[in-house]
Amino acid sequence: MGTPARCWQKAEGRRRPQTRTDLAISPLPLCCVPRRCTMDAPTQVVNFGPGPAKLPRSVLLEIQKELLDYKGVGISVLEMSHRSSDFAKIVNNTENLVRELLAVPDNYKVIFVQGGGSGQFSAVPLNLIGLKAGRCADYVVTGAWSAKAAEEAKKFGTVTIVHPKLGSYTKIPDPSTWNLSPDASYVYYCANETVHGVEFDFIPDVKGAVLVCDMSSNFLSKPVDVSKFGVIFAGAQKNVGSAGVTVVIVREDLLGFALRECPSILDYKVQAGNNSLYNTPSCFSIYVMGLVLEWIKNNGGAAAMEKLSSIKSQMIYDIIDNSQGFYVSVGGIRASLYNAVTIEDVQKLAAFMKNFLEMHQL
């Protein structure tokens, strides 16, 4: 998962991060960059960027091997017809891996769409805000991404922020302060706010309402009970693949309520009914996602990813907490420790931080 690791300057005071799973340390990716590197070189750039993020090396090598000739069919996935039987196997395999890794119940559809998480800021209200006649929705706003989602949803209905206005995005508002409306079609939140470094360590209890979650930055970084959600969505480019595809997990009883003005390409029922092939999808991104999911499966699944994430995050936070110098700086340098970032990669970052501290601490 992403780990916001905070700004490397001396400060009079520091605030403790809400989470140890998303380190915020530049708007630009932080990389350990050798002067020259190739796929076969012993050293390579280590990408701590917020997304597109690092892919497992074994996945990159598999992509390289299959790039010109996918499994002996004589064609690259890059030029493969999305209507072909070969691509049908790819998309079905990717869906099955999502289902297996998250134990997705049978009454949920898994679809692959374009537009990223930002596209879902529109798709969610277009599909769900009409569930009830009042066309209203409740939003929990804890950072930049949920704030953008709430603003977008206002185009399609009434949006209520369920908690007192936050002076800054530094913590999750106490659920006892939330005022959920029985008339709301759904309740929306972002599980991990990468810009501000705030992550939910619980699934909100919304009293039976339809719960929608943006899991873009911690999807498959830990196990999750899908049955507690109406909709989960996540861009693949952080933890489970490359840019270009967004996975949406939607409960079947929520299909068919899209607003009349909802474009067909954003209609969950249309996409589910066409096996994510209503339009030409991002075929290569779905293929890459399947390879990454296979890698996650072979490395112990979501539970193993959670354990590794905790170890990696702790390595960085130990340095921060004992530094008497590093402090939280939203918009400073961000180091994201997503699934494919290895412990060895984090050791390099830790060594860099220690060296920086020795050189610049007053």
Residues annotated catalytic, as ranges: 145, 214, 238
Sign of CA dihedral 247, 29, 48, 60: positive
Q: In whole angstroms, give the CA distance from residue 160 to residue 328.
A: 30
Cis peptide before 263 (omega within 30 of 0): no
Rounded CA gap, 191 and 216, in Å?
8
Q: Is residue 139 within 8 Å of 151, Cβ to Cβ?
A: no
* DSSP symbols for 1-40: ------B-S--S--PPPS-SS------SPPEE--SS--TT
- Are 230 and 186 in contact by the 8 Å Cβ rule? The answer is yes
**Do the beta carbons of residue 243 and residue 236 sit within 8 Å?**
yes
Residue 302 CB contacts under 8 Å (≥ 6 apart), including other chains: 101, 102, 220, 221, 222, 223, 224, 296
